[in-house]
Structure 1
Amino acid sequence: MITEKLKKKIKNFNRNKYLYYYQKYYKKLKIQQNCVLIESTHGANISGHMFYILQELEKNYNHLNLFVAAKNIESIQKFLNDQNIKRAKVVKHLSKEYCRLLASAKYLFNDTTFYPFFNKKEGQIYINIWHGTPLKKLGKDLENVTEVGNVQKNFYMTDKIIVNNEYTRNIIEHAFNISGVYQGKMVVGPSPRNSVMFDEKIRQKIRSELGVTNEKIYFYMPTWRGSVGRVNHDHSKILSDLEEISGKLQKNEIFFVKLHPFQANIDLSEFENIYSMPEKYEVYQFLTAVDVLITDYSSVMYDFLVTGRKIVLYTYDKEDYFSTRGVYEDIDDYPFVQAKTVDELLIALRDNKTFSYKEMQEKFCPFDNIEGTKILCDYLFNDTTYDCITETDIYNGKKTTAIFCGGLWDNGITSALLNTLNNIDTSQRNYILFFERKRLKKEHFYKVRDLPEGVLYYPIPGGLNGTFIERIFYKFYFKYEWFKGPVVQHFVKNMFLPEQRRFFGDLKIDDYIHYTGFDRKFAELLSHLDENINKIIFVHTDMFKEYEAKKSYSKKIIFGAYKKADKIAIVNGSLKDDLENNLPFTKGKIFTVNNFFGEKRVRELAKENIFATILPTSVTYAYVPTEKINFQHLNKNINLFLQSHERFQEYNNLNIRDDLDQLMKENHVNIAKRIEEKINLANEIIIEKTIGKSKSRLLNELFDENIKFFINIGRFAYEKGHERLIEAFEKVNKENPNTRLIIIAPHGPLKNKTVRQVRNSSAKSSIYILGRMSNPYALLKLCDAFVLSSYYEALGLVVFESLAVGTAVITVDLEGTVKYLQNNEAIIVENSTEGLYQGMRKFLLNPYNFNSFNFEKYTKQSIEQFNSLLNHSLIR
């Protein structure tokens, strides 16, 4: 009997057969020297640049075998027949034949991207002719920073990226994280699709076929509404506009519409004088026949400039549209007439005022000409040079270090990495942080947006390639420690060897750093990298205790990576002996690279308004008493709240400031009473609508000088020792009820267990558990002492972050941490529950004078240690 789970697997297998076909052909087939595969918009059509390249190759390159990828073979075949293109064979996108061609054709052309499984073979030539001049923001300039991944991956593989102006070239370099590292050629030259618009013969031919003599042809090409991944399918506006236009058109006016593919289901047949663009024409052919182009925010405006004919922008929703889609240029600076209503649009269409697009033509289409497609193909296939084609090398000659950073979760490893990047000189090398695209969550996007100058990031799309049998071996190899041996290694090796090229394309990677030290896939990849790459893996904790406690990684894979690595970077020298004793092969390649403490970054973050950092933070646990809370300490800091959040307007609406003049006319007693009433009312709004009661209580107590706060920051995991911290605090709180404990824990396997312990604790009314905080340092600064309660840590980084913001530290005796604290900078206690209790008690009972910590000394040392990991020569 076939289970539902098995049915699903069979369905997925049938749907994704192309993954297996491609890998089979990738390894089996040689390059077909005269074969050209052309793909436009993932096979959705064959138009624009790709159509005109195909047309030129059909006419003048008879020795080439031409193939076109198509999702709908019949419609594209019919279109090619209408265009008298006979030699090109249309193949089904993602079919077996398509995979064969993608894996073996010497020449690959695209105007967007190939799917993530694509892996350019040595000997293939990949040309990407980018599909438009961007007005709307692209790549990493969008809200979702991971959407850049597949375009970035494709660009890393291309031999040439072709655009028709410097403006677009500069945006692509920045937006797709290729600046300084791209190994191919950035080419600025004539646009293939714009060449046809110079052809007066085609203009007359199409107008004749349409039966047009002296009539004016208006052509409306709206862009789509919505944002990436969220298309607006409401067509009511466009239909109502077309109805109004239809009723007001004159006899000498012909109105055509080319709808975006997302609007393809709109039926225009009900209109007598509004027509869809005839399907037998390619859109840029049809543009030759047009007298006035109507668009809004589409890049076609830049292309139509070459005709010198009128362009009208119908921008009825400009403010709303630009609020959801950022733009690189202000269209108000363009010499185009803008219309917000149908009447304004018709006036603009019929206006005969003179206009000039000369400056825009020089900026956006300086090299376009009637021979543009012919010139470009001659350049690409015959290496002919032309004055209208310029090649640029944007590779900066520096060595490139690729750093696997995981999902940049809220943990010490991420903090250590960000501290590293903020302290080293990132101008000396190219640094690329890479991670699996789906692993970076929205709440962590800010971490890649805020990377230092010169540090790129790369969200790798897609899963591993592999044949059917390789994938079976891979699955078992990663799941079961016992599944190993020469046969297993053979299949795993065959699967991973091509992955370096699929991930990084033609990039020259000099150093590969597995920074997290745990991830299996990228540790296994390290084991199969080219010999000339400097392979480094970090060790952030006692891996033997970690495995004994949690079995959170694969020994065979991680220790196998240690064996293949050139250097093993330990963040604390105390880890060295255990590694060498347990894994003798590590001798001679262990480097100590002490974590950067990141004191400058932490101090800057600690300046953030406490209300602003608390507002978005979830409360995992907090005791809220039934009796009314006296928020006197919160009231004293109400202005701090006002500065922190847009909702302060709710407070301002109480008109305290507006009432002051009137209040001043009353007696002193009334002034005080009225202000107190309004502040109390404001607190109710804050509690109910903004902060919430539990966080309001927390803040109120934080501002109470009589209450002492202890804080711990770390995920819900065994090694963090939360259970004994809570037990120790219970004893402290019993002796001194004016104490509080905050635990900030974003995630972890022991979450439910820890919350249950607190709920049942005798100190439950004095303990707060908060969820993830993008910036915990403002809160850390307000607390009296940070408590490190971990059973084991290579380095308790938060100890030094606490010292950086002036918060006292109580830490258990962990060698890797306390070796830096030998000058009375912290209270060091026995590594036990009793030790934690005595440490907190000592802090409360006796005035404790701490010495300041010397951050500068250790920062300089860490820089030297990190640089020692990398090759010394910085320029090739």
Structure 2
Amino acid sequence: MNIGNPQRNFLTADYILFPNEYTKRHMLEDYMMDNIAQSKTIMGGYPRNDVFFNTKRRKTLRKELKLENYKVWAYMPTFRQNARVGTSAKSDAYMLYNLFELDKRMNDNEVMFVNLHPVSRSNVDFDEFIHIKEFPSEIETYDFLNITDCLVTDYSSVFFDYACTGKKIILFTYDKEDYLKDRGMYLSLDDIVYPKVGDFNALLKELRCGKNYDDRDFIKDFIPFESAFSSQKLCDQVILNEDCSLPVDNIHGNGKKNILLYAGNLAPNGVTASLRNLLCVADTDKYNFYISFHQNAAKNYGENLFTFPSDVSYLATVGGFNLTIFDRIIKVLFRFKIIKVGLYMKINGKRVKQNFERDFGFAKFDTFIQFSGYVPDQILKFTQTDKNNVIYVHSDMVQEIKQRGNQRADVLKYAYKRYKHVAAVSEDIVESTLRLGASKENVCVIKNIIAKDTVLAKSKLAPQLDEFTESSVEHEEAMKFITDKSTKKFITVGRFSPEKGHKRLVCAFEEFSKKSTGCKAYYYGRQFIS
């Protein structure tokens, strides 16, 4: 789910440069750009690879570094974990073991330069090696890579770039099973032409023999445009509008209208369930549906994306408002209800609009739906479009304000007057919605979809209480009651908060129990973990 930054980069770009059709097809599909991006695609060589064709620079640098009489190898392994978690003890141990064993067996005219992720680098003391050194920090990575005679990597895309040199590439995949356990690949390792080795002895043997494979088809398929003039051609074509024979194309959609639905934080609650049920019956023959959420807010509930229909796309947003110090003061005053929404929007309305345009302004959407109906910032943000916009009302907001204080009357009154449609999920809450500023002209009733087929399918399953279910009795006793077919059972499902009316149900059961013997009441609750 952490794709907000690249998605936004693609959406805001005038051109997206791709090195081949394969990469273009998969990147547009995986980042869900096909129908909403207004960028143009351009096929060409990557500017960073120009240096690989600079033989003069290669000779000069080798001479400056006194490496003219050496076999120079580069090792650029993929980072195994992530920057927040760090490396695992296992991956560190494997890497150090292989480096030490290689170092012991290398000849004096052989040198291996290693480029590690900063987190991994902190675990390696290069002073302990004789023939293994760190990439020099004062030289740009690809500039230095150009002087090497062979690249050793594993699952990194760097070998696509290095293939421009025509020099040997070796894939050192000693931990293939562990690495692939929770990761996927676009290409199978078996389909890649470069030799794969699993231990340092095999690696050293490959390093010391010449290029023993034919990668011409690989180069033709994946780097057909690379040359010494990639940067020049790209600049001449996109800046000077000269025809440099680089294929340029629009991103072609399927012709359907694009609908964006803001889903809140994707928590396993009634709003998320309602959206899921709605999308299960939505007309995907006419519309493309995109679920939107803020990455940080939804980080604990990313798994819920797998519960939506597979033909629904999503658009993640990242970051917060870009504000001056004065703007921040106004926002804090608004947050603590010291100033009302009217004054806030008069002062910071420009910033709210900028925030909307930063997230969605470059995407082709026909309708924006604030489906969650909550969170003042998100409610106000979607008032800033000149396209069709809708806000959902999932509950009696007057009672929510009175009993829970989780909404703001001033924000709702401001918003309900500015959305083209205010969608109440039942007739019962239309009156309270009108009291909060909506008009009879823009209020409509869109009832929640009942996932009948899902309910019927689950009714055939054996009852169970999962680890998150809280019960007023022990689970064993609760299961005995649930599975007892001799008794009638009434089940209510709803958030355990005042406006859901559970108190009325309890009082009604009390009256019922006075007239019926053997009645029991149990409470089962779902515990949400943030």
TM-score between the two structures when normalised by the length of structure 1: 0.56
1:794-843 Cα deviation digits (max 9, x unpaired): xxxxxxxxxxxxxxxxxxxxxxxxxxxxxxxxxxxxxxxxxxxxxxxxxx
Amino acid at match of 2:62: R
Q: Where in structure 2 are the equivalents of 1:419-568 lying within 5 Å? A: 419-442=277-300, 444-480=301-337, 483-484=339-340, 487-527=343-383, 529-530=384-385, 532-568=386-422
What's 2:501 paired with? 721
Residue 522 of structure 2 corresponds to residue 741 of structure 1 = yes
SS of alignment partner, residue 290 of structure 2: strand
Q: Is the alpha carbon distance of 1:243 and 1:434 closer, same or farther for their aligned partners in structure 2, counting shifts above 3 Å?
A: same
Q: Where in structure 2 are the equivalents of 1:85-164 lying within 5 Å? A: 145=1, 147-164=2-19
Structure 2 CA distance for aligned equivalents of residues 462 and 210 of structure 1: 43
Residue 482 of structure 2 corresponds to residue 621 of structure 1 = no
Q: Is the alpha carbon distance of 1:573 and 1:486 closer, same or farther for their aligned partners in structure 2, counting shifts above 3 Å?
A: closer
Alignment counterpart, residue 423 of structure 2, candidates 544, 557, 569: 569
Structure 1 CA distance for aligned equivalents of residues 400 and 63 of structure 2: 78
What's 2:455 paired with? 602
Structure 1 CA distance for aligned equivalents of residues 335 and 67 of structure 2: 67
Alignment counterpart, residue 161 of structure 2, candidates 277, 297, 303: 303
What's 1:415 paired with? 273
8 A contact 1:526–1:564 mirrored in 2: no
Q: Is the alpha carbon distance of 1:587 and 1:701 closer, same or farther for their aligned partners in structure 2, counting shifts above 3 Å?
A: closer
8 A contact 1:709–1:740 mirrored in 2: no
SS of alignment partner, residue 328 of structure 1: coil
Q: CA deviation at 1:357?
A: 0.9
Q: CA deviation at 1:341?
A: 1.5
8 A contact 1:227–1:324 mirrored in 2: no
1:514-570 Cα deviation digits (max 9, x unpaired): 22223211222233x14x311222222333333333333111111111111212222
Q: CA deviation at 1:728?
A: 4.3
Residue 34 of structure 2 corresponds to residue 176 of structure 1 = no
Structure 1 CA distance for aligned equivalents of residues 506 and 295 of structure 2: 37
Residue 35 of structure 2 corresponds to residue 254 of structure 1 = no
SS of alignment partner, residue 508 of structure 1: coil
1:670-709 Cα deviation digits (max 9, x unpaired): xxxxxxxxxxxxxxxxxxxxxxxx2x44444433333444
8 A contact 1:713–1:743 mirrored in 2: no
Q: Is the alpha carbon distance of 1:424 and 1:316 closer, same or farther for their aligned partners in structure 2, counting shifts above 3 Å?
A: same
What's 2:232 paired with? 374
8 A contact 1:517–1:540 mirrored in 2: yes
Q: CA deviation at 1:360?
A: 1.6
Structure 1 CA distance for aligned equivalents of residues 231 and 163 of structure 2: 17
8 A contact 1:402–1:433 mirrored in 2: yes
8 A contact 1:513–1:537 mirrored in 2: yes
Structure 1: 5+ residue runs without aligned partners? 1-144, 625-693, 748-770, 773-876
Alignment counterpart, residue 64 of structure 2, candidates 209, 214, 221: 209
SS of alignment partner, residue 440 of structure 1: helix
Structure 2 CA distance for aligned equivalents of residues 715 and 284 of structure 1: 57
What's 1:586 paired with? 439
Structure with the larger RCO, 1 or 2 (CA within 8 Å, 6+ apart): 2
Amino acid at match of 1:500: F
Q: CA deviation at 1:249?
A: 1.1
Structure 2 CA distance for aligned equivalents of residues 368 and 431 of structure 1: 37
Alignment counterpart, residue 53 of structure 2, candidates 198, 218, 226: 198
Structure 1 CA distance for aligned equivalents of residues 299 and 142 of structure 2: 40
Identity %: 29
Structure 2 CA distance for aligned equivalents of residues 358 and 315 of structure 1: 23
Q: CA deviation at 1:441?
A: 4.7
1:215-241 Cα deviation digits (max 9, x unpaired): 422211112121463220644433332
Structure 1 CA distance for aligned equivalents of residues 517 and 43 of structure 2: 73
Structure 1 CA distance for aligned equivalents of residues 356 and 437 of structure 2: 28
8 A contact 1:149–1:459 mirrored in 2: yes
Q: Is the alpha carbon distance of 1:370 and 1:542 closer, same or farther for their aligned partners in structure 2, counting shifts above 3 Å?
A: same
SS of alignment partner, residue 312 of structure 1: strand
Structure 2 CA distance for aligned equivalents of residues 505 and 233 of structure 1: 41
Q: CA deviation at 1:432?
A: 2.1
Structure 2: 5+ residue runs without aligned partners? none
8 A contact 1:186–1:394 mirrored in 2: no
For the pair shown, the structure with the greater C-alpha radius of gyration is 1
8 A contact 1:420–1:595 mirrored in 2: yes
Superposed CA RMSD in Å reads 2.8
Amino acid at match of 1:560: Y
Structure 2 CA distance for aligned equivalents of residues 600 and 498 of structure 1: 43
Amino acid at match of 1:494: K
What's 2:484 paired with? 704
Structure 2 CA distance for aligned equivalents of residues 568 and 284 of structure 1: 55
Q: Where in structure 2 are the equivalents of 1:342-421 lying within 5 Å? A: 342-352=200-210, 354-421=212-279
SS of alignment partner, residue 298 of structure 1: coil
8 A contact 1:221–1:259 mirrored in 2: yes
Structure 2 CA distance for aligned equivalents of residues 186 and 539 of structure 1: 40
What's 1:319 paired with? 177
SS of alignment partner, residue 374 of structure 2: coil
8 A contact 1:233–1:263 mirrored in 2: no
8 A contact 1:514–1:537 mirrored in 2: yes
8 A contact 2:471–2:478 mirrored in 1: no
Q: CA deviation at 1:510?
A: 2.4
What's 1:289 paired with? 147
8 A contact 2:266–2:302 mirrored in 1: no
Amino acid at match of 2:261: I
Q: CA deviation at 1:490?
A: 1.9
TM-score between the two structures when normalised by the length of structure 2: 0.90
Q: Is the alpha carbon distance of 1:593 and 1:283 closer, same or farther for their aligned partners in structure 2, counting shifts above 3 Å?
A: same
Alignment counterpart, residue 191 of structure 2, candidates 318, 322, 333: 333
Q: CA deviation at 1:732?
A: 5.6
SS of alignment partner, residue 329 of structure 2: helix
Amino acid at match of 1:706: S
The count of corresponding residues between Structure 1 and Structure 2 is: 526
Structure 2 CA distance for aligned equivalents of residues 485 and 551 of structure 1: 16
What's 1:225 paired with? 80
Q: Is the alpha carbon distance of 1:385 and 1:353 closer, same or farther for their aligned partners in structure 2, counting shifts above 3 Å?
A: closer
Q: Where in structure 2 are the equivalents of 1:787-798 lying within 5 Å? A: none
8 A contact 1:189–1:390 mirrored in 2: no
Amino acid at match of 2:322: N
Q: Is the alpha carbon distance of 1:394 and 1:623 closer, same or farther for their aligned partners in structure 2, counting shifts above 3 Å?
A: same
Q: CA deviation at 1:585?
A: 6.1
SS of alignment partner, residue 516 of structure 1: coil
Runs (4+) of structure 1 exceeding 6 A deviation are none
What's 1:858 paired with? none
Amino acid at match of 1:566: K
1:730-752 Cα deviation digits (max 9, x unpaired): 566684437563533445xxxxx
